[in-house]
A and B are shown apart, each in its own frame.
Chain A
Amino acid sequence: MPITERDVEKIAELAHLELTEEEKALFTRQLASIVRYVEKLNELDTEDVPPMMHAGAEEEADYAQRDDEVLASLGQETALANAPDKARGFFRVPRVIE
């Protein structure tokens, strides 16, 4: 699957990144090279191999759960401590609905 500059623009838009023309060209080349490298795997016949959704073993599944118990939270003050903008106990952000 060849990577085009259009793909890079779309990914940048979805990731909220602004790229210069030079960066677009550079990332197009770099991404294309990475994808070409991974495409090597397509040479294998994976017809009967189930897709691997997770690197952990299946036995991991059970102990990776917790009981429904309320634990201490950070609290409002700490939660907001690093917020660039806050008011009335809320995070404040530029208005998002037009």
Chain B
Amino acid sequence: MTPRDKYEVIIGLEVHAQLKTKSKIFCGCSTAFGDEPNANTCPVCLGLPGALPVLNREAIRLAAKAALALGCRINPVSIFARKNYFYPDLPKGYQISQYEQPFSEHGEVEIMTSERDERGRPIQWRRKVIRLTRLHIEEDAGKSIHDGLPDSAEASYVDLNRSGVPLVEIVSEPDFRSSWEAYDYVQHLRQTLQYIDVCEGNMEEGNLRCDANVSVRPKGATEYGTKIELKNLNSFRFLQRALEYEVHRQIEVLESGGELRQETRLWNEREGKTTVMRTKEYAHDYRYFPEPDLPPLILTPEWIEEVKRELPELPGPRRQRFIEQYGLSFEDATTLTATRSMADYYEAVVAQGVEARAAANWILSELIYLLRSSGSDISACPITPPHLAGMIKLISEGTISGKIAKTVIQEMFQTGKTAEEVVKEKGLVQLSDPAQLEPIIDEVLQAHPDKVNAYRGGKVGLLGFFVGQVMKATKGKANPQLVNQLLREKLASSSSSE
């Protein structure tokens, strides 16, 4: 039993997701990413005296979609509150957030999760329900740059373009028992928020950010261990690695007889470890109080129902339906429902009346490969669903072989043409006429008398060799089933005729 096995890991996550609005939550400044620093600012988001916030309606609607998709109960009345602390990227000296009476509470999401082997491959997928404490609305702070400038040793730089960008903070219960569970949960959140078109979900651009509370306790203990807050977990890889590192660190400290201190630690990706975060401006007393500049947010049951009706089918239920309705495996259904555009594409192909499994196979192999190698998303795929369905029909009708189809699909991808057009232009119609195939087969057999003899002598495995030669001679256009059949007949008759 390793020291690790003696401990239980307890992790809770706070995920901040940027809501996809055009303008900020309390003013009309743009939320665009990557603009000139401080260009998208005004008296409200600069925190100039006398400026007053006015709530962005769209942010509320998007937050409601997120809350409902994550099984949260939306409070009919919620209150904005000031969270007070000093930091250079927080110009007002407080962040407008929610504290008592938040936007929504008591959520629940069912995720698929698995531990991973040494090579990072999932071992065994299982379902797990994660409870959400709350999902509330708040504004983002600005961005501080502490490194990389000539005078970074003595100065920090502040860009307030992000100040006032709308966020939801999604707080989980301490329900994760491993770093991979946390990882799978964040993946699930991201996928769900993208499905419902609420958040871009791009961790690199900072529109999905994650903090974690991590503790360990001896198995069987009922009291929680000392809780460490981990910040700066801004990519999926960081998140899992940082949590794993922190769990090991805590167990090591305890095993060597040490004690853990409640503190905030930062993940340092370069060094691959967490270090204590010390700032000169940190106070753990936020003195929350109701925001006097904003009235209570009041939502009617009718409005909430309306938002609920806007929600699309969510990824979990959709995957389950794909498995049941189309007879797909869990893995295939997972890939096909990874994004809403992928799932919509697949169903649009199936809707054209092609066999569901065939459609899945072509998308999962050839199409995904073509998309990946050209770096494009399926929503911009040059092959439309009817075009792909048309190609699959040509195969099932016997016009082209599956092998030829691999050439056809590439051409379709590059030109946007239909399969029929490509087949006609390139003369790729399958040879399914015995009268055309027989002379070719005879030629192949005459060219390999020794192999013909060997076949006749019992080496029937050579059939594959002859099929291959015929396919080669016809540049892959021969109908493989027919070639098989004709070859068998000819090889049999030639042996009996002698």
Contact = CB atoms under 8 A, between A and B. Distances in A.
Interface string A2-36: 00000000100110100000000000000000000
Interface string B14-45: 00000001110001111000001111111100
Contacts of A96: 87-88, 144, 146, 156, 279-281
A91 B88 contact: yes
Contacts of A87: 155, 157
A93 B57 contact: no
B382 interface: no
A51 B149 CA distance: 50
Contact of B280 (A14, A58, A98): A98
Contact of B40 (A66, A73, A93, A97): A73
Contacts of B36: 76, 89
B158 A91 contact: yes
A71 B22 contact: no
Interface string B264-298: 00000000000001111101010100101011111
B22 to A, nearest CB: 5
Chain B interface category by residue count: 35 or more
Contact of B39 (A66, A75, A93): A75
Given A14-B283, A61-B295, A93 B158 contact: yes
Contacts of A88: 37, 149, 157
A64 B186 CA distance: 34
A74 B42 contact: yes
B153 A64 contact: no
B57 A67 contact: yes
A79 B27 CA distance: 15
Contacts of A95: 146, 152-156
A65 B37 contact: no
B183 to A, nearest CB: 27
A92 B30 CA distance: 23
A90 B145 contact: yes
Contacts of A72: 28
A59 to B, nearest CB: 9
A79 B46 contact: yes
Interface string B200-231: 00000000000000000000000000000000
Contacts of B159: 89-91
Contacts of B101: 53
B146 A97 contact: yes
Given A14-B287, A68-B56, A93-B88, 9 more contacts: A55-B292, A70-B28, A79-B38, A87-B155, A89-B38, A90-B158, A95-B154, A96-B144, A97-B279
14 contacts: A54-B294, A55-B292, A56-B295, A64-B54, A64-B294, A66-B54, A68-B21, A73-B28, A73-B30, A73-B41, A76-B39, A95-B156, A96-B281, A97-B278
Interface of A: 10, 13-14, 16, 53-56, 58, 60-62, 64-76, 79-80, 87-98
In order of increasing CB-CB distance, the 9 nearest A-B pairs are A71-B28, A68-B58, A90-B157, A91-B158, A93-B88, A89-B37, A98-B278, A79-B41, A61-B298
Interface of B: 21-23, 27-30, 36-43, 46, 54-60, 79, 84, 86-88, 101, 144-146, 149, 152-160, 277-281, 283, 285, 287, 290, 292, 294-298
